[in-house]
Structure 1
Amino acid sequence: MEITTQPTDLTEQINSWKEEVNEVREDAKMMRERLEQIVLSSAPREVMSRVEHFENRLLRQREVADEMFHDLKQCAKKLSAEQPPTVIHDDRPICDYDTMSNRMEIFQKLFIELKEDFNQFMDSEL
């Protein structure tokens, strides 16, 4: 099936994803700061091992966010360099938009799961 997409629509979607990635970065930063508060307290050893677990997950989340942001920037750069009046595609828009869309869905899903786990941990520690 062939779909016509305006480059500006693709650019807007990519910019929206970049904003989402930045929001994830900010949320992850706040979660790390909350973990630092636990580390500074005299929490039991088992709590500290869970803190370390979340620190590792947040570190990996940051790495994935950085990779996503870089790839989105490259995709936007490719779009701006080509500038055709209309992009025609058959379920695979320019710069492998379909793949980027799938990656963003997975990125969002995994971060939501991380955030839910983190909030449950924090609720149990309060």
Structure 2
Amino acid sequence: MSTTTQPTELHEQLNAWKEEVREVKEEVTLMRERLEQIALSKAPKEVLSQVEHFENRLLRQREVADEMFHDIKQSAKKHSDAPSNVQHDDRPVHDYSTLQNRMETFQKLYMQLKGEFNHFITSQG
């Protein structure tokens, strides 16, 4: 599938995604710090089990965020020297539609994780 996107719009969208991924990475760091505080508070085993669960999920979220950031940067780099209209092909990093779908999935999964994490944290307070 091939679509045409204006370079300015594409550039703005890619920059917005990079900023969003940066924010997710910062939030994940803060969440991990909060889990560390809970782990050091001599919490019951059930709570420590949940802490470990969230530590693993946050670690994976960070890995996915790093991958997304890299792929967005690669896409931006590919299109930086592009002519006035950019033709996208089916390659995952360079295909805008695929990258957009990946970003939507990234956003959805992160919001679910954040909601579950916040519920856990409020149940500890």
* Length-normalised TM-score, structure 1: 0.90
1:67 and 2:64 matched? no
Structure-2 change in CA distance of 1:31 and 1:107 (3 Å): same
Which runs of 5 or more residues in structure 1 are unaligned? none
CA distance in 2, matches of 1:5, 1:120: 40
Which runs of 5 or more residues in structure 2 are unaligned? none
Give the match's secondary structure for 2:84: coil
> What's 1:48 paired with?
48
CA distance in 2, matches of 1:14, 1:23: 14
Aligned alpha-carbon RMSD (Å): 2.1
Give the match's secondary structure for 2:43: coil
* Length-normalised TM-score, structure 2: 0.91
Matched length: 124
3-12 or 20-29: bigger deviation: 3-12
Give the match's secondary structure for 1:42: coil
Identity fraction in percent: 67
**Structure 1 consecutive aligned stretches of length 4 or more whose deviation exceeds 6 Å:** none
Cα distance, 1:6 vs structure 2: 1.3
Cα distance, 1:5 vs structure 2: 2.3
> What's 1:7 paired with?
7
